[in-house]
Amino acid sequence: MAVSDALRSPAAVRIADEGPSQRPNKFKQAFPQYVAVAPFFILFAIFGAFPVFFSIWLSFHSWDGIGQMKWVGLEQYSYLLTDPTFWKSITNTLIIWVLSTVPMLLLALLIANSLHNATRFRSFYRIAYFIPNITSVVAVTMVFGSVFSNNFGLLNAFLTSIGLDKIEWLSQPWGIKIAIATIVAWRWTGYNAIIFLAGLQAISSDIYEAAKVDGASSRQQFWQITVPLLRPVILFTAVTSTIGGLQIFTESQVLFGASGSIGGPGDGGLTIVSYLYDNAFGSNQFGYGAAIGWALFILIVLFSIINWRLIGGSDDERITKRVARRAQRKIAAEKAGKEYADAH
């Protein structure tokens, strides 16, 4: 978007009109600007672009990092497709992602709505809700690990005290996933609530006034005005949660890394990135690690496109107008229906 704007700006057109004779001079004049933008491109070339291309090359080889690289063609990828542990890491990651993202975004919406209605203590709330997000995952995972602990965890103590059986949270595939999803949701709910709040504050109060005049209840206003108008913001949080969710690693590594099996009992907490880490840096299979990296990349692109298609897609202004019209129509219709029902 930014790029096409700049292309259309008059200054850019002027450069194009001046013809080839002026060109070398232009380049020379712009030397300081090239120096200014160079550090990023140089660093990216060395630590970004080169590794990306190298990882394609690497994924066609078998290599332990020390000996000779051995060309194996597409073997790493064909093995990947039939590797049950790899597929398990994908389903684990997706389950943890759903378990964390859905409650997280719904709670964030509820909190944002409350923040929007509350006039006092706003700064206090914002800080309190944001603190989990700036706290290190390692420390947080240790605390939650103890809360979910099989023997002495707070959660099991609570279950025992109300007469229920203990649950071996960290020994069962589902318990592990719930524990990890809880950590993720705890860290990101406040962050998303703050983002939603900014979205809410950007909605013009005129629309609500109009809806009120038409007799819409606050629930109707929330679902028919607030949620649709928040679409671009919801898209942002959905995309960032997806990208973050597919890269979950630290939680299971801190919970189980020391036990020798990075995925925990039954590999219940084995995520895509932890499988990548385990193959590359645990058992020195660099080629296979690189292939898993590419699989992860494809998944991220795929899910970002799905998000975009589901939630976003068209331009804000049009959505705003369309939604406002639809909301007013619907509210009017419901009101008419109610009046009809009341009358009869």
Partner 1 sequence: MRTERVREVTSHVVLMLGVLVSLFPFYWMLVMASNTTPDIFAYPPKLLVGSHLLENMRNVLSNIDFFGAMLLTLIASLGVTVLVLFFDSLAAFAFAKYEFPGRNLLFGILLVTFMIPSQLALVPQFVTLAEFGWIGSLKALIIPGAANAFGIFWMRQYAKGAIPDELISAAKVDGAGFFRQYLTVGLPVLRPGLAFLGIFTFINVWNDYLWPLIVMTDPNRLTLQVALQQLNGVYGTDYSMVMAGALMSVIPLIGVFIIGGRHFIADIAAGAMKF
**Residues 165-224 contacting partner 1, CB under 8 A:** 186, 189-191, 194-195, 197-199, 202, 218
**Which residues inside 10-69 make contact with partner 1, applying CB under 8 A?**
11-12, 15, 23, 26-27, 29-30, 32-34, 36-37, 39-41, 43-44, 46-52, 54-55, 58, 65
Closest CA to 192 of 79, 256, 108, 302: 108
- State the CB neighbour count (10 A cutoff) for residue 90: 17
Under the binding rule (CB under 8 A), the answer on residue 310 touching partner 1 is: no
Give the whole-angstrom CA distance, residue 307 versus residue 99: 17
Among 91, 135, 204, 283, binds partner 1 (CB under 8 A): 135
CB-based contact 110:93 (threshold 8 Å): no
138 versus 336: smaller Cβ distance to partner 1: 138
111-130 residues near partner 1, rule: CB under 8 A: 111, 113-115, 117-121, 123, 125-130
Q: Residues 248-287 vs partner 1: string with x where CB under 8 A?
A: -xx--xx--xx--------------x--xx--xx----x-
203 token code pair:
């909605």
Burial (CB count within 10 angstroms: exposed 0-12, middle 13-18, buried 19+), residue 206: exposed
Phi, psi at 166, each rounded to 5° = -65, 155
Q: Write the interaction track for partner 1 spanning residues 313-342; mark x where CB under 8 A is met and - where it is not.
A: ------------------------------
| Interface pick for partner 1 out of 232, 319, 330, 334 (rule CB under 8 A) | 232
Interface region with partner 1, contact rule CB under 8 A, candidates 87-95, 203-211, 241-249, 261-269? 241-249
b/e map of 221-241 (b: 16 or more CB within 10 Å)?
A: beebbbebbbbebbbbbbbeb
Residue with tokens 């998944």: 299
**Footprint of partner 1 on residues 67-96 (CB under 8 A)?**
none
